[in-house]
Amino acid sequence: MKTKKLGSSDLEVPIVCMGTMTFGEQSSEEESFAIMDYALSQGVNFLDTAELYPVPPTKENNARTERIIGNWMQARGNRSQVIIATKVAGAMPGMDRSYIVANRADPPLDFETAPQPNLTREQILTACDASLRRLQTTYIDLYQIHWPARYAPLFGGRQYHPDRERDAPSIEEQVAAMGELIQAGKVKYWGLSNETTFGVCQFCETAKRLGVPLPVSIQNDFSPMLRVFEGDLAEACAPSNYNIGLLAYGVLAGGALSGKYLNGFDTSRSRHTLFPGFQPRYHAKRTSDAARELVEIAKAKDMSAATLCQAWAASRWYMGSVIIGATTLEQVQENIAACLTKLDEETVAAMDALFLKYGNTTLAD
């Protein structure tokens, strides 16, 4: 298994990170245990989760994923072998997510009276303690801000709209809270997620000013058909600048780029079939059109489109780790092998040509 240091940290992470957002919804605890057992046996000791998970999040399923991971580590006695990354949730205007805050308490608070999540110092510290409790551990290797507290064009947003700006906890307050958690030994390193170049620079310069270690990772949506990261974000995160490793999610665009939603595939257990309203940015016609051509490029090299996409992502110079998802053992086997597959120059050139043809297919407004 190929490994490398994650950003400026001392964390030696594999090129494959096991994503867990289906654990507790599409995958039972037993199935999740089997997936993690296999991943660890292959050298994939890096698990990514969040207090929000599983998805789609509901009052009924919230925080199951962290509990399942905690139960697994307790049952296997393997905490010291595993790198755990989790995330703290912030505000999501227009959505009732008070249950996230309610579930940070033990026993939970009343969902009806609990406040909405927000990235204040108090909420970040409380959320971390709740994650530690559910994960049954005394420390988190990588603690990430799941999405910005301020307004930013997220989850498929293409343009910045000044009229959507809103009041939010300051970046200084968030950075200081991360510094407190590191000082307390509850968190080893911290990272960003769904961030912009502006946000990365602001967080890093604020950390320098406050004497807090810089973030070591950024977890952003990234795929062969969503390459926004490759420009000014890659420059800001480069080893010669802030030295922040990319943790890429959505490499298959929720499975859309694998070609499985095209004719002839059984998708009865797949995310977009079970939850058609979730992650609508991945459902665009341009993405389906691009997927058809990805399938043909892959066929010419005797591989699946899923293998092609993940191998391509793993080959990028700025890649810290490719987050793979799986609801079955067969999927995790294929996805781990995919990230270890090397592509020839002809195939990489074909991928570049396809991107030039379709552009960033999962961006919306």
The residues assigned a catalytic role are 53
CA distance to 133, 182, 187, 265, 349, per residue, from 138 (Å)? 8, 12, 9, 44, 46
Q: Is 158 exposed, middle or buried (0-12, 13-18, 19+ CB in 10 A)?
A: exposed
Tell me how far apart the alpha carbons of residues 273 and 184 are, in angstroms, rounded to a whole number: 44
DSSP label at residue 142? E
How many residues are given for the chain? 365
DSSP, collapsed to helix, strand or coil, labels residue 350 as helix
* 147 closest CA partner among 82, 206, 209, 203: 203
Report CA torsion sign: 86, 90, 94, 100. Answer: positive
CA distance to 45, 63, 154, 284, 301, per residue, from 363 (Å)? 32, 29, 9, 9, 29
